[in-house]
A and B are shown apart, each in its own frame.
Chain A
Amino acid sequence: MRLRLLSLIISLVFPLLCAAQEVVGIRGSVSDSKTGEPLAGAFVAAYKSSKVQGYSMTGEDGTFHVKLSGVSAPDTLVVTLMGYASRKVAVTDLSKPLTIKLIPKKAEIKASKITSSVIEENGDTTKYSAAAFSDGNERNIGDLLAKLPGLSVTESGGVKVDGQSVSKFYVEGMDLMGARYGTVVKNLTPDKISSVEVYRRHQPVRALSGLVATDKSAVNIILKESSRGTWLFSGGAALGAPRFPLFNARAMFSRFSSSSQNLYLLKGNNIGGDILQELREQEYFGRASGRAYVLRESLEPDFATPLTPTNSPLSLPKEYWYANTSGVASLNSLRKLKSGMLVRTTLNAAAERYSEQTASREEIIFPQGDVLTISESTEVLDKKLFLNGSAELENNNDKRFFSDRLEFSGQLRDNDMDISREEPASERRSLPSFKVSNNLSSIIRLSDKKALDIGSDTKFFRNEGKADFSFGQSAFRQVYDISRLDSRNTARFDARAGRQVFHVTARLNVAYTLLESSLSGLDLEAVPTYSRNGILHLAPGATVSTDRRIGKSRVSLSLPASLNLVSTEGVNMIYPLVSPSVSASGPLAGKLDYTAILRYSLTRSSDESLSRAAVARSYRAMAVPDSLMRSGTLGGDLFLKYSDNVSLFYATLSSGYDRMVTDKTSSAFYHDRFSVSSFVPAVCAHEILNLNGNIKKFFGLRALVLEARAGTTLSTYESLLQGTRTGFKDRTFMAGLTLRSNPWDWISAEVKADGFRLVSSFAERNRTDRLSCDASLALRPWKKVSLITDSYLSWYTLAGKKTSNPPLVSAEAVWKLAKCSLYLRCMNVFDSDVLTTDAVSAYQSFHSSRQLLGRRILAGVRMSL
């Protein structure tokens, strides 16, 4: 009976179970038609006569299962996914899984009304709409960035936010160029840009996020949708005369997507465009900062030696005076291997031929009142070949950061200088250099409150400088050959306890310098002319630092200290170095922020100061390095910033004070033929006090931008001149005003005026004034035609004697076509051939006349595709 009952229940329930298991639906998978990769997140909807019957989203493996509610079977499936063209598929057989391939297609987002404001603030991120600040005459994104509030751009393409170099420069969130991002800033055209994001207090290492605070900023360039992930071309070519052929050519292919980025650039000119500087390393994340004394001409700071010649730059646009023939090639590639992991490779090559003609008069005023006057005219020819390559692997995720960068640089440089004076002189320099370096950093986030950071920066470089000098009948040769192996290793531990974060760093720096200096062909009494030194420098050290939030402010305390052991040629030295500092920053009231720093540092001059042999730096200047100079500096800075993005008013006020006490004083001695500079043991103090202010107000973003700046510096220092201890007091004053206006589309104008005064207390005669004025006017009389003029005026006064320079004017006509624009440019319209400048320093005054590049006409085409 029981069995019968059971079989009856089973026979009744079983068909129901079967019906329940028979789920009507459509199964299948969605993949990329090109790569075959399964696509997750695609929306699959089933329709019967245009009426929706069911839907599904594809899973991570690209599969879907559309469960159908209706009785009638659907006839169409529609698959949609952002980044792909929608696909309609006819459904014929429900039992067979469907394989649907989607074709990648960019969504055409059309410009409709813009609802967001031109400046959006979101925590530490400020986003600027590019179009709102552009007047249409910017050649590169550097010109555009310079117009954004709080941003400035250096001549070499370095970007600064609130006066501080950015630590990261991203395009579409990825850092393609590393520290040599000037190439992007100077070559990417603004028509590709949608907006610019500025990240303040940006921590690029994700594993340190929320643990290690930073005061550095980063900039992210956001491209227009149509420019993302696709190859972009921008370039141009121009020919001109005199002297034929003048040329200016540029071709850049770039592609910025979220998985890979490339930039290939080839450019050259002989019209005064200093393009080599774009390859210079900017102050950047992972690079040692504080290279304050980098020579302007140097692409690689480690290639600078006492023999490196210093050119004298003029403060007017280079197209008037930079007599060059330059070429640059830059190949850059960045690939994302997986989330957070990327490989960056770069190869840069540059070549330049530069010439300069100057007539100068230099007056040196001695304590006794005598005046030494040196008049000479100089012709310089400088030839440079530079090659640099690097490969970097970076893995940046929440738990771990790893980065290794291998880099090499090489440079061949020849510099010839012919000097005409009573007795003619010449200098011939040959300066080959080579460097290879490896920079390793590994950071592990141990827990929410702890992280470990291990880094090693090792480099080897060699500078094999040789210089032949002649003066009258005598000829002599200086060889300065330096090889240096430098390894800096650190291990840092970061830990947070409540609101307090502690950092403890252990450091070991090891350096070996082999220095050979030889001066031949010259007899110097009591001064050695040859030395060969091997200098071993060991510096174990430690840094203890901590930072803490107090109210809205962040207070940091840092105490780095190291013990230095230097050994060379029987001399062993041990000396400590310390540089404690305390800083506080945060909002003071409302929109007013402050930063205050108090610091002390005890430093020594570089190991090269132990050379012990005379080094002829030029045909009439010699240095005798024989000992390390110790200097202790106590200083403080106060920086106030007012920033109001609503009323678009910005103001900064900065002041600083430094007092440096050295155990040795620089001494200059002028002999009949040479000046010899060295350090002599005499304790002296230098003081610098400065105060600078700046206000900027935007009236309607572009209608009128007003910027006013003023500052003063007071410095006092001591040195020995002709064996007499002499004190100097310099006062500088500067004031400037910039007005920029683009009230209507057809007109845009900018006027910039700067006044500068330097008064040196040493002699009444040493006072100089400079007033310079830059003006540019761009008119667009017709929609496709623009007329642009730039002019530059300058006046100098030296000891009451005025010098004014004729106006330097350039004019350009641009005709915009559909895919390109044609232009005709006339540089130096009035054919001014000489610029006269006056300058003073402690006990010297300079009056120089620089040969300018005359009137030239250039016709060309610019393209941006």
Chain B
Amino acid sequence: MRKLTRKEEEIMKLFWENGGMFVKDMLETFPNPKPRNLNIKLFFILLFCCGSLMAQRNIRVSYAFLYKRDTTEKNYRTEMDMRLDYNGKESWFYSEGRFQRDSLSVKAFDKSGNIADQEAYNAATRHRGTTDLWHVDFSEASYSIAYKAIMKIFLGEKGNLELPMWNLIDSDTTKTFAGYAVKKAEADYLGRKWTVWYTEEVPVNAGPWLLWGCPGLIVYAIDSEKLFNFYVRDISVYEEARWPGAMEAYSRSCDISRLSVKEEEKIKARAKRDMDYFNELAGYSGAVGEIRNKDGSVTRLQYNKFQPLIAESYWK
């Protein structure tokens, strides 16, 4: 960016103080010695040529997501490639492995949503990462959670994005995480007590999952039950928005049910715990939840344990 000269700065100040005016009016208000009419015109031409002086920056953050399905589980399950895309107004949080492969899904499906490239489709759907997609629109103060059961998407939408009532815990000791100076904050949010570390070095108010609202990027987060844990792995800044809109191509192949977040979370929790219900949702029939043993006997698959990120107690 070009620095303004002293005279130019004076013109700018006049402009801000007096609002819009013609050059001749501006000349009159200008203290002596008055600049030449041409100089003022030239300055505005130059200002116009500079265009947008600071482009909106977009950020892409890779997080590791560690979770337990139950408090009794000893070890964390991991998803090492969760990704946050944030463009200053909206954020998307999703599994990179699942959705970046959706660049393949652009190839995989044609415009009608039919499978056009079987190989790309296989590659896009082979990965076992979470199919959930969290979208936050900060300017509209709304959010949505998309849960996908094979070819059906349950889109939970909520018009009221709550702000976690962060208690900023400034301490004298400087801590760093992934090379960034971090500060701690705590809040009760969506039914759980969250402790996060954020960095003011990256001044964005977003974070992993639906965590947000700190005076810097959230680089580490853990809940009080130690069920869920997010930590940053890589941060990149881009001039252009990175979200490829792959979800759009992906979702064309699916039925979408629009629900409230509460209903979506309820369906998801039940489907995660009850395989028969999941099969029913996905449109599978028959003994998909059963394994036929060599001796001809049938073993029913156990129901999974599952703890949702939004605590079920929150909805009560």
Q: Which positions in A face B, CB cutoff 8 Å?
A: 32, 34-37, 41, 43, 45, 47, 50-52, 54-55, 57, 78, 80-86, 104, 107-116, 120-123, 125, 172-173, 225, 228-229, 257-260, 335-339, 343, 552, 590
* Cross-chain contact of A50 among B100, B168, B203 (Cβ < 8 A): B168
Interface centre among B138, B213, B237, B240 (most CB of A within 10 A): B237
Instruction: Return chain A residues, CB-CB under 8 Å to B139.
Output: 41, 57
Looking across the interface, which residue of chain B has its beta carbon closest to that of A591?
B119
Report, nearest first, the 3 A-B pairs whose CB atoms are least far apart.
A122-B103, A43-B205, A110-B179
> Are A83 and B54 in contact (CB-based, < 8 A)?
yes
Contact with B53, one of A32, A228, A337 (Cβ below 8 angstroms): A32
Min distance, Cβ A570 to any Cβ of chain B, angstroms: 55
Q: Is B88 an interface residue, CB under 8 A from the partner?
A: yes
A792 to chain B, nearest CB (A): 41
Number of A-B contacts (CB under 8 A): 160
| B229 part of interface (Cβ distance < 8 Å) | no
Instruction: Chain A residues near B55: list those with CB within 8 A.
Output: 83, 257-259
Task: Sample 23 A-B pairs with CB under 8 A, ordered by A number.
Answer: A34-B1, A35-B53, A37-B53, A43-B138, A47-B168, A50-B168, A51-B168, A52-B166, A54-B163, A80-B203, A80-B216, A82-B58, A82-B59, A83-B57, A86-B215, A107-B57, A107-B202, A110-B179, A120-B100, A121-B103, A258-B52, A337-B48, A338-B52
Q: Give the residues in chain B near A108, CB-CB below 8 Å.
A: 201
B contact face: mostly helix, strand, loop, or mixed:
loop
CB distance from A189 to the nearest CB of B (A): 21
A259 and B213 in contact, given A114-B234, A115-B80 (Cβ under 8 angstroms): no
B interface residues, tally (CB under 8 Å): 63
- Give the interface centre of A34, A125, A228, A257 by most chain B CB atoms within 10 Å: A34
Say whether B50 contacts A259, CB under 8 Å: yes
- For residue A260, which residues in chain B have a CB less than 8 angstroms away from its CB? 50-51
**Chain B: which residue is nearest A83 at the CB level?**
B57
Residue of A with least CB distance to B62: A115
Q: Closest CB of chain B to A581's CB: distance in Å? A: 27
Are A113 and B237 closer than 8 Å at their CB atoms?
Answer: no
**What's the minimum C-beta distance from B112 to chain A, rounded to whole angstroms?**
12
A173 B240 Cβ-Cβ under 8 A: yes
Given contacts A50-B169, A82-B204, A173-B239, contact A41 B234 (CB under 8 A): no
Contact of B16 among A36, A116, A120, A225 (CB under 8 A): A36
Tell me which of B50, B164, B203 contacts A82 (CB under 8 A).
Answer: B203
B-side residues, CB < 8 A to A, are 1, 3-4, 12, 16, 48-59, 62, 80-81, 88-89, 96, 100, 103-104, 106-107, 116-117, 119, 138-139, 163-170, 178-180, 187, 200-205, 213, 215-216, 232-237, 239-240, 244
Task: Give the residues in chain A near B234, CB-CB below 8 Å.
Answer: 112-116
> Judging by beta carbons under 8 Å apart, are A336 and B52 in contact?
yes
CB distance from A264 to the nearest CB of B (A): 15
In the complex, A548 Cα to B274 Cα: how many Å? Answer: 48
B57 proximity list for chain A (CB < 8 A): 82-83, 107
Task: Please indicate the chain A residues that have their CB under 8 angstroms from the CB of B116 in the complex.
Answer: 552
Kindly report which residue of chain A lies nearest to residue B203, judged by CB atoms: A80
Are B163 and A335 in contact (CB-based, < 8 A)? no
Q: Are B81 and A115 in contact (CB under 8 A)?
A: yes
| B81, closest chain A residue (CB) | A115
- Give the docked Cα–Cα distance between A57 and B96 (Å): 28
Given contacts A81-B203, A107-B202, A116-B234, contact A41 B89 (CB under 8 A): yes
- Given contacts A32-B54, A54-B163, is CB(A110)–CB(B103) below 8 Å? no
Q: Which residues on the B side are within 8 Å of A173 (C-beta)?
A: 239-240
Point out the residues of chain B lying under 8 angstroms from A122, CB to CB.
100, 103, 106, 244
Q: Give the one of B55, B100, B205 with max A CB within 10 A.
A: B205
Contact check, B239 vs A228: say whether CB atoms are below 8 A apart: yes
Please tell me if the beta carbons of A104 and B215 are within 8 angstroms of each other in the complex: no
Chain B residues, CB < 8 A from A50:
167-170
